Structure 1
Amino acid sequence: MLEKVNRMNELYDTYQELLTSKQKVYFELYYQDDLSLSEIAEQFEVSRNAVFDNIKRTGKLLEDYEDKLQLLNKREAREKIIDQMMLHTSDEQLVKWMNELQSLD
């Protein structure tokens, strides 16, 4: 379960600007603030099932964005390559540039 939560949060960090404000609010309350479906439903005066459907659709949408755009996978691949480069170089300027590259993500 923790892996799924981490994955959803990484996808959210990458693609949140493509979501509606309602999707963002429900998603953040559920995955980041750890509220239950019932607590969210009560707060917005909607059914628990409506909250569940919204969060489920939002998760699928985030996965679809990643399937098509691969931004998260590409970032992870870049980070691995930079980590390997940093292990095998002693050039201070090169290490500085690699650190700058990592900070862009």
Structure 2
Amino acid sequence: MIEKKLEISMLYDFYSQLLTEKQRDMIDLYYNQDLSLGEIAEDLHVSRQAVYDTIKRTEKILYDYEEKLKLLHLFHSKMINIEKIQEKVFALEKKIDASASTEELKEEVSAIKLLFGELLNN
């Protein structure tokens, strides 16, 4: 459940402006503020069933947006490339400290440049 909660929260961050105010409020209260369905229903003066239905419909809408726009996927891809670049920079630093040959250093720099290119093109 924690994985879904995090995923919905991230989808909400990317796509909340495409939702109605009511949808934004309910998703925010349920996933980000950790309120129960009953608490949300009481706060918004609606039935618990209405809150449940709205949350389920909004989750589907968020997943549909992601399927079409792929912003979360793109974000994850960029984060992976950033982590790879960081690893390469640390490896380059170690090679410099170990007095690696100019050729080895150039290879590491080329690999970093390639990763930066992928990051910018995604």
- Confirm whether residue 12 of structure 1 aligns to residue 12 of structure 2: yes
What does 1:5-84 correspond to in 2, within 5 Å? 5-84=5-84
How big is each residue's C-alpha offset from its partner over 1:69-93, in whole Å with a ceiling of 9 and x where there is no partner? 11110111011112112211348xx
What fraction of aligned residue pairs are identical, expressed as a percent? 47
Unaligned segments of structure 1, at least 5 residues: none
Q: CA deviation at 1:66?
A: 0.3
Unaligned segments of structure 2, at least 5 residues: 94-111
* In 1, Cα distance between equivalents of 2:44 and 2:82: 44
| Greater than 2 Å deviation, 4+ residue runs | none
How big is each residue's C-alpha offset from its partner over 1:40-94, in whole Å with a ceiling of 9 and x where there is no partner? 1111221110000001111110000000111110111011112112211348xx8
Under a length normalisation based on structure 1, what TM-score does the superposition of the two structures give? Answer: 0.82
Under a length normalisation based on structure 2, what TM-score does the superposition of the two structures give? Answer: 0.71
C-alpha RMSD of the superposition: 1.8
What is the number of residues matched between the two proteins?
A: 94
Q: CA deviation at 1:23?
A: 0.6
